[in-house]
C-alpha cells in the first residue's frame, strides 16, 4: 500500500460546502475520507454523492452503529447499497450483533469493509472504568473486543496506535487496523487521550490513519497532508 493510501481525512464539519472543498483540495493526495454523524445529520445521505463527484473515491462512513442485531443488520444492508467503502459498528454491541452485521454486509454485491470500534481514542483507562464499568484497562478491553470482531467475521477494527502492536501480534496481519487520534508533533491533542504521530502509528501496525483537525484546521491543508505522507514513508 502506498503511503498516501493510508491517510483518511475526517470531514468533521456540518457544512457540506466545506466538506466538498476539502475533498477537491485533498483527494489527489490521500486514500479516502471519513464522513461522520455531524456531516450526515446536517447534509443528509445525499452528501455521499456530492463527495464522490468532488473526487472522493473511498468513503468511510463513521456510523458507529450500536443496537439490537436485527436493527444493525438492516442498517448495514441499507448502508451497503449506498456504495460506501467502509463502515463501522460498535464492538461493545456484542458478538451476535456483529455476526448479524457481517452476514448482512456479505449478502450484497461489493460489500463495504466492516470495522469494529473498540475503545474510543477520547477515553483513558480511568474514564473507561468510570463510564463503562469494565475493570479492564483500555488496552485489554481493545484486545477483547477486537478478538470478538475478528471471530464475528469483521474485516478490521478501529483502535488507537497504543494497542496496534499488540493487536498485530495477537490477531495477525489480515485484520485491518484503522487508527484515529493521529497528531503531528506540536499539534494540539484536542479531546483525544490516546494519540500518536503518523510514523508511530504505522510502525506499531496501523493500516489506515484517520486525521482531521491537524490537516483541515491548518492554514495549508495540502502541505500538512504531504508532511503526513512523508512521515509515513520515512518510518
8 Å CB contact between 116 and 92: no
The single residue listed with the C-alpha cell 436485527 is 70
Can you name the residues that pair with 211 across neighbouring β-strands?
Answer: 9
Catalytic residue among 34, 64, 150, 224: 64
Q: Is 64 a catalytic residue?
A: yes
Can you name the residues that pair with 177 across neighbouring β-strands?
Answer: 157
How far from each other are the two terminal CA atoms of the chain, in whole angstroms? 14
8 Å CB contact between 166 and 144: no
Instruction: Report DSSP letters for 60-115, one per residue.
Output: EEEEEE-S-HHHHHHHHHHHHTTT-SEEEEEGGG-HHHHHHHHHHHHTSSSPPEEE
Beta strands in the chain (DSSP E): 7-10, 32-35, 59-65, 86-90, 113-117, 156-158, 176-179, 208-211
Residues 148, 9, 104: CA angle, nearest 5 degrees = 35
Q: Give the span between the Cα atoms of 201 and 197, in whole angstroms.
A: 6
| Residues annotated as part of the active site | 64
Amino acid at each position: 500500500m502506498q503511503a498516501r493510501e493510508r491517510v483518511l481525512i475526517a470531514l468533521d464539519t456540518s457544512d457540506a460546502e466545506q466538506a466538498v472543498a476539502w475533498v477537491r483540495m485533498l483527494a489527489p493526495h490521500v486514500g479516502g475520507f471519513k464522513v461522520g454523524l455531524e456531516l450526515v445529520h446536517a447534509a443528509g445521505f445525499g452528501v455521499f454523492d456530492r463527495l464522490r463527484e468532488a473526487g472522493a473515491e473511498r468513503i468511510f462512513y463513521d456510523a458507529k452503529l450500536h443496537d439490537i442485531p436485527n436493527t444493525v443488520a438492516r442498517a448495514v444492508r441499507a448502508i451497503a447499497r449506498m456504495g460506501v467503502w467502509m463502515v463501522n459498528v460498535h464492538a461493545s454491541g456484542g458478538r451476535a450483533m456483529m455476526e448479524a452485521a457481517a452476514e448482512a454486509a456479505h449478502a450484497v454485491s461489493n460489500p463495504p469493509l466492516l470495522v469494529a470500534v473498540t475503545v474510543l481514542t477520547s477515553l483513558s483507562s480511568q474514564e473507561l472504568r468510570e463510564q463503562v464499568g469494565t475493570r479492564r484497562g483500555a488496552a485489554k478491553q481493545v484486545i477483547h473486543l477486537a478478538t470478538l470482531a475478528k471471530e464475528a467475521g469483521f474485516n478490521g477494527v478501529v483502535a488507537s496506535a497504543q494497542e496496534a502492536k499488540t493487536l498485530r501480534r495477537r490477531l495477525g496481519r489480515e485484520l485491518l487496523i484503522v487508527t484515529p487520534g493521529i497528531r503531528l508533533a506540536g499539534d494540539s491533542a484536542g479531546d483525544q487521550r490516546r494519540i500518536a504521530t503518523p510514523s508511530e502509528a504505522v510502525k506499531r501496525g496501523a493500516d489506515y490513519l484517520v486525521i482531521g483537525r491537524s490537516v483541515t484546521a491548518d492554514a495549508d491543508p495540502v502541505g500538512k497532508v504531504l508532511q503526513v505522507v512523508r512521515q509515513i514513508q520515512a518510518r
